[in-house]
Amino acid sequence: MGSAGNAVWSNRFAFVMASVGFAVGLGNIWRFPYVTGENGGSAFVAIYLLCTLSIGIPCLMAELIVGRRGGGSPPRSMAMVARQSDRSANWMIVGGMGVLTAYTIAITYAVVVGWVLWYLGRALMTGFVGFDTGVADSTFAGLLGDNQSMVIWTLIGNLIVGCIIYAGITAGIERAVTIMMPLMFTLLIGLSIYNYFAGGFYETLQWLFTPDFSKVTGATFLAAVGQAFFSIGVGMGGMMTYGAYLPRDFSIAKGAATIVMADTLVALLAGFVVFPAVFHFGLDMAGGPGLIFQTLPVAFAQMPGGGIFSVLFFIMLAVAGITSMVGLLESVTSWTQERLDISRQRSTLLVVGSVTCFSVVSVLSYNIWEDYRLLGMNFNELTEALYDKVLLPLAGLLVALFTGWFMHREHSEDELRDDLRWFGLWRGLTRWIVVPAVALILIKGLF
């Protein structure tokens, strides 16, 4: 099976856990609840669910279809499926774009995973005792100025990710995700229950589920489309690579629906983990990523049992970060292995090693290299703009365009033969809803 070296997921559960682990990243934990509240609570949730059904699931199915049919890394799968459909093998560039996107995201994401691990260490040692807003801000600022700590913790995170990928599909990725993802779900549910008693739960319930239709505008729809597209992990080659390891008897439609529903459930549960503390202690809702590192430690310091809560919270975040990194770098490793004709182990060392080197540049761009700018942006801002505004939506758009309009109908039909009643719906949505919607995200990002 091409780059997969005939590797196949040993069971459905492992595939779903790996895919959910890839899709659920650190962005889900802080971004979704915040975007929801900002855009009208449950009015936004309803629009978001509509978008995940009409855009997220078809996008994900498109990647899995190409991945399983091509059976190799994203560029190889795209080329092979294009040739079968009498199209140019140059479609492989789209697969290459996904691999490049994953690699680019991994460089800056690895540093954030390093922060999470640093805070986990801090939670274990101090439990954030005595933290107030001033201490929390200066601690985070101190971390951003401490290159040695950031490099060490980024290295530790990459080492964990590297070991998982190095061990292979069954012994590495499957074994890791079948332990880590149920742990993450358990922690999310446990922490939500804790918050039910600790305060701020009802305010969160209102924030997330009180429909405020006055806030619903065209921008709300765009926010929902963007959230549905970005949170599912398409456009990065990861899902296409995971699709290459799918056995023939696996239902792609059911798998995609399960992954998207689990991803949405995690995003909503995250709201009940993050926001009760924010409401209860009157903290800043709009903290963005800073919410995790500056706002919540203040809450942990004040809440009963905050020391234990903080450790469990950062373990959950670490799992979300590491499983996403595994998905990102698996697609790059699979492509490198195929392209250079080397073993998975050597490919892993090459990929994780090079990402780590670039991550050091990312670390330095938070302080001593912050003023080195290209197009008015430093290294971190430039890489983020590149994947967020250009590569991700463009790769997603081209995959949808290819599967909806250029791939032979009977080939995609063959991949969905267990779910033929859904085939027409999937094809219609991909052609008439996904392509225009993702094109809109791309245009909005560029202009």
Give the contacts of 341 (CB within 8 A, at least 6 positions apart): none
pLDDT at site 3? 44
Rounded mean pLDDT of 318-346? 96
Q: Where are the domains of the chain?
A: 2-446
pLDDT at site 5? 53
Q: What is the pLDDT of residues 15-56, one digit of tens each?
A: 999 999 999 998 888 788 878 878 888 889 899 999 999 999
In whole angstroms, give the CA distance from residue 173 to residue 161: 9
In whole angstroms, give the CA distance from residue 426 to residue 276: 38
Give the contacts of 215 (CB within 8 A, at least 6 positions apart): 38, 39, 40, 43, 44
- Burial string for 173-206 (b: 16+ CB within 10 Å, else e) reads bbebbbebbeebbebbeebbebbeebebbeebbe
Q: What is the pTM of this model?
A: 0.93
In whole angstroms, give the CA distance from residue 18 to residue 21: 5
167 three-state secondary structure: coil
Q: What is the pLDDT of residues 242-280, one digit of tens each?
A: 999 999 999 999 999 999 999 999 989 998 998 898 888
What is the CB neighbour count within 10 angstroms for residue 89?
A: 13
In whole angstroms, give the CA distance from residue 215 to residue 280: 24
* Third-level CATH fold of 2-446: Amino acid/polyamine transporter I (1.20.1740)
Q: What is the pLDDT of residues 375-391, one digit of tens each?
A: 889 999 999 999 989 99
